[in-house]
Amino acid sequence: MNLMLLEKNDFTGPGRVIIFGRRFDHVKNVLQAGIGESLSCGIVNGKMGTGRIMAVHSDSLEMDISLEIEPPEPLPLTLVLALPRPKMLKRIFESVTSLGVKEIYLINSWRVEKSFWQSPVLEARELEKYLRLGLEQSKDTMMPRIHQKRFFTKFVKQELPVIGKDSFCMTAHPKTSNICPMGVNKKTCLVIGPEGGFIDLEIKTLEESGFTTYNIGQRILRVETATTFLISRLFAWG
């Protein structure tokens, strides 16, 4: 935890918070911070700053908070992801959140198992757990927005062209000779398929909606690996 995320209900008064549960356990057992020490803090969807520990109790701690720093700029990327298996989805959410992705669309496709859509992971409260871990890791406060789209053709034909307007629009797909560009560094809409990739009809539908297919080399990667690889390839930092 590189940043303690705060909620409005953590505040007991102006500039004073009380922390329980997982965050308290982390400060006590991992950071081993005590009275007088300062921690990086930020309020969800708001500013960042520091918190100075003023009191430590058996199951909680109190801090004085000063939040004056704006969170980092979001990555100019919209990620459209064919719904992966739930265990993989958890890791992907944590990773892409730490990279600064703020718009994520989960879509259906022919190779997505129907049972995936029934997973408890897709419940808002569960999703937020993994988004929080990504924000805490990367020292960010702006929560990504997750959109679930169960009807592939309707979404790709009617909504995706609007979402991808004025963007570099690409679909990651192994069966093409186009090599994914490097360092695009501009507004991008990236579509990534399921394990095994999109079927030909789905690729055709995406192409008709303005999305060019690109591959990332001879190696076939897991979705979670391909996602982080593509983001790092498309955007160069520093």
Per-residue 3-state assignment (H helix, E strand, C coil) for the chain: CCCEEECHHHEEECCEEEECHHHHHHHHHHHCCCCCCEEEEEECCCCEEEEEEEEECCCCEEEEEEEEECCCCCCCEEEEEECCCHHHHHHHHHHHHHCCCCEEEEECCCCCCHHHHHCHHHCHHHHHHHHHHHHHHHCCCCCCEEEEECCHHHHHHHHHHHHCCCCEEEEECCCCCCECCCCCCCCEEEEECCCCCCCHHHHHHHHHCCCEEEECCCCCCCHHHHHHHHHHHHCCCC
Which CATH code of 3.40.220.10, 2.40.240.20, 3.40.50.300, 3.30.1300.10 fits the domain covering 4-69?
2.40.240.20
Q: What is the pLDDT of residues 128-151, one digit of tens each?
A: 999 999 999 999 999 999 999 999
What is the Cα–Cα distance from 76 to 93, expressed in whole angstroms?
17
**What architecture is domain 77-234?**
3-Layer(aba) Sandwich (3.40)
Domain ranges of the chain: 4-69, 77-234
pLDDT of residue 165: 95
C-beta of residue 87 within 8 angstroms of C-beta of residue 71: no
C-beta of residue 79 within 8 angstroms of C-beta of residue 96: yes
Percent of the chain with pLDDT over 90: 92
pLDDT of residue 181: 92
In this structure, the dihedral spanned by the alpha carbons of residues 107, 110, 111 and 114, taken in order and rounded to 10 degrees, is 70
Which pTM was predicted?
A: 0.93
pLDDT of residue 110: 96
Residues 131-148: b if buried by 16+ CB within 10 A, e if exposed: bbbbbbbbbbbbbbeeee
Q: What is the pLDDT of residues 182-218, one digit of tens each?
A: 999 999 999 999 988 999 999 999 999 999 999 988 8
Average pLDDT, the chain: 94
Percent of the chain with pLDDT over 70: 99
pLDDT of residue 226: 93
Q: What is the pLDDT of residues 11-69, one digit of tens each?
A: 999 999 999 999 999 999 999 999 999 999 999 999 999 999 999 999 999 999 999 99
Q: What is the pLDDT of residues 81-131, one digit of tens each?
A: 999 999 999 999 999 999 999 999 999 999 999 999 999 999 989 999 999
pLDDT at 238 exceeding the cut of 80: no
pLDDT of residue 237: 64
